[in-house]
């Protein structure tokens, strides 16, 4: 038997983290077992559709390497893979369920349903449809249909007994039939609800393993009643634990929690995001934390999926992202960092390999780059208090002495290379009889105007070039003289 899994998102906006994790696990399970991963777009909730959302889903899956074998934009033998293009299929199966007694036509008006809901609220009871239209005779139903009365088709849930199934994560799940409601399968506009569409599509697309969020755990028995009514095989189920923002609140697209694209815009790498969410609810058999996608395919096992909620830890994601940034080659880093370089400097005027060497090991996210480099384009207006550093034994007074000593040495260098700058400053340290930091710290402040920089005074001076370095030292000397008068 060929393993077939599916990811079936609704195109209601950007793909959020919980949805991407579902897609990842469905992909990993299929590929681990030599199977197929299918993308299906569930767009039957017409009121919540967002333009371009399907394109975002296609793009996100391709960006993350979750290549689907069948789907709306790649085709396949079980299409169409967009539910709104399958309306006739759902109508046919809804009517077949009616013929089999597993569903029935309901002609109740909004007014009747509102009244029923009000009665339930008055009694403190949860609203549940009262099967009113189940008692209609075939003749009454035909007359109403012939008259063009609006209708829905509802599932006919047994009132007694219970329905049980086995989940590969949560084990045996049993729900009393009396707890389930005669939900609508086909709406008055001809579109199916999730209840009908997911069952029909999973059967027709030969899905063997349904992987989805825990919110469907207690609803699955009513889907299974539909499988049984149609004499179809019930798939295996793998329900996933929720992803929580904290101990109390679930991550939610509707509550504005970050989507995949939000994280990319915040400077996170695609591979790091995917690696991190793989570990949100799944533990490998060893302590490995950094995985490539092929390594995840090899390591993934459903036995490692937890029943407990997973807490989304942004700090852990930042740590992992930093690991991914450090693992980039120089060429890869420069290519990915270029949009951020351009926000702070003119890349053509600076030694990008040197900048890469200085900042790549210090970054958690790429969006930190502009703030770390902005001083290279323009000297910030800094306060001379920066020249005070107790640990380095530097004061504004000593800083003035050392800057005035460094200036002519740097001015007279025949070649302003990193090596020449380094050697000349080390000779000056020895000549002055001071520690390295007593000279290099005030020099770094003068050329950067900031308390923290990637790299030290020597690298920054080389990046700036001779003219700009001397100009900034002159500014530092002038600032100190003015303040110390």
Q: Which residues make up each annotated binding site for ATP?
A: 253
Cis preceding-peptide flag for 435 (omega within 30 of 0): no
Residue 151 token pair: 């209708």
Closest CA to 321 of 263, 282, 372: 263
Contacts of 100-103 spanning 24+ positions with Cβ under 8 A: 100/229, 100/230, 101/156, 101/229, 102/155, 102/156, 102/225, 102/226, 102/229, 102/230, 103/153, 103/154, 103/155, 103/156, 103/185, 103/229
Q: Would you list which residues are annotated within the binding site? A: 253
3-class secondary-structure state, position 357: helix
Are 429 and 439 in contact by the 8 Å Cβ rule? The answer is yes
- Cα 417 from chain centroid (whole Å): 44
Residue with tokens 């539909």: 226
- C-alpha 462/C-alpha 98 separation (Å) is 80
Residue 311 token pair: 């807490």
- C-alpha 60/C-alpha 335 separation (Å) is 20
How buried is residue 69: exposed, middle or buried, by Cβ count under 10 Å (0-12/13-18/19+)? middle
Burial 404-432 (b: 16+ CB within 10 A, else e): ebbbeebeeeeebeeeebbebbeebbeee
Active site residue 253: yes
Task: Supply φ then ψ for residue 270, to 5 degrees.
Answer: -55, -45
- C-alpha 322/C-alpha 290 separation (Å) is 11
Residue 114 token pair: 């509102």
CA angle 234, 236, 242 (to 5 degrees): 125
Q: Which of 253, 266, 316, 466 is catalytic?
A: 253
State the catalytic residues: 253
């Amino acid at each position: 038997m060929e393993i077939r899994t599916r990811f079936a998102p609704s195109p209601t906006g950007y793909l959020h983290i919980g949805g991407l994790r579902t897609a990842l696990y469905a992909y990993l399970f299929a590929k681990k077992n030599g199977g197929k991963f299918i993308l299906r777009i569930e767009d039957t909730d017409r009121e919540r559709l967002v333009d371009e959302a399907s394109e975002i889903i296609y793009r996100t899956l391709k960006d993350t390497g979750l290549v689907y074998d069948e789907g709306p934009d790649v085709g396949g033998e079980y299409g169409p893979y967009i539910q709104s293009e399958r309306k006739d299929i759902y109508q046919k199966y809804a009517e077949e369920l009616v013929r089999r007694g597993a569903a029935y036509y309901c002609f109740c008006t909004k007014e009747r349903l509102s009244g029923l809901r009000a009665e339930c609220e008055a009694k403190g009871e949860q609203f549940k449809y009262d099967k009113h239209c189940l008692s209609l005779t075939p003749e009454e139903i035909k007359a109403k249909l012939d008259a063009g009365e609006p209708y829905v088709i509802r599932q006919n849930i047994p009132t007694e007994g219970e329905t049980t199934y086995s989940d590969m994560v949560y084990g045996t799940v049993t729900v009393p039939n009396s707890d389930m409601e005669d939900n609508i399968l086909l709406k008055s506009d001809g579109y199916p609800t999730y209840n009908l569409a997911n069952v029909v599509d999973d059967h027709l697309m030969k899905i063997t393993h349904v992987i989805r969020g825990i919110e469907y755990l207690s609803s699955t028995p009513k889907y299974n009643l539909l499988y049984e009514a149609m004499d179809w095989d019930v798939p295996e189920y793998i329900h996933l634990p929720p992803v929580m923002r904290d101990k109390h609140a679930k991550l939610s697209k509707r509550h504005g929690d970050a989507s995949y694209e939000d994280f990319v815009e915040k400077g996170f790498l695609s591979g790091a995001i995917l690696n991190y969410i793989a570990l949100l609810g799944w533990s490998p058999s060893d302590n490995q934390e950094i995985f490539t996608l092929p390594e995840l395919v090899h390591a993934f096992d459903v036995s490692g999926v937890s029943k407990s909620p997973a807490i989304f830890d942004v700090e852990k994601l930042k740590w992992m992202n930093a690991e991914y940034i450090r693992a980039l080659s120089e060429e890869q880093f420069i290519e990915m960092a270029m949009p951020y370089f351009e926000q702070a400097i003119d890349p053509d005027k600076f030694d990008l390999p040197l900048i890469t060497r200085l900042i790549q090991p210090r970054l958690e996210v790429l969006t930190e780059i502009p703030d770390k480099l902005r001083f290279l384009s323009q000297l910030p207006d800094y306060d001379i208090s920066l020249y005070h550093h107790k640990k380095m034994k530097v004061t504004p007074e000593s800083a003035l002495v050392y800057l005035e000593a460094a200036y002519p040495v740097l001015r007279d260098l025949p070649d302003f290379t990193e090596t020449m700058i380094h050697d000349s400053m080390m000779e000056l340290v020895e000549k002055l009889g001071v520690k390295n930091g007593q000279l290099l710290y005030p020099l770094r402040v003068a050329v950067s105007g900031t308390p923290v920089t990637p790299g030290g005074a020597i690298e920054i001076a080389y990046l700036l070039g001779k003219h700009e370095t001397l100009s900034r030292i002159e500014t530092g000397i002038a600032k100190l003289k003015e303040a110390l008068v």
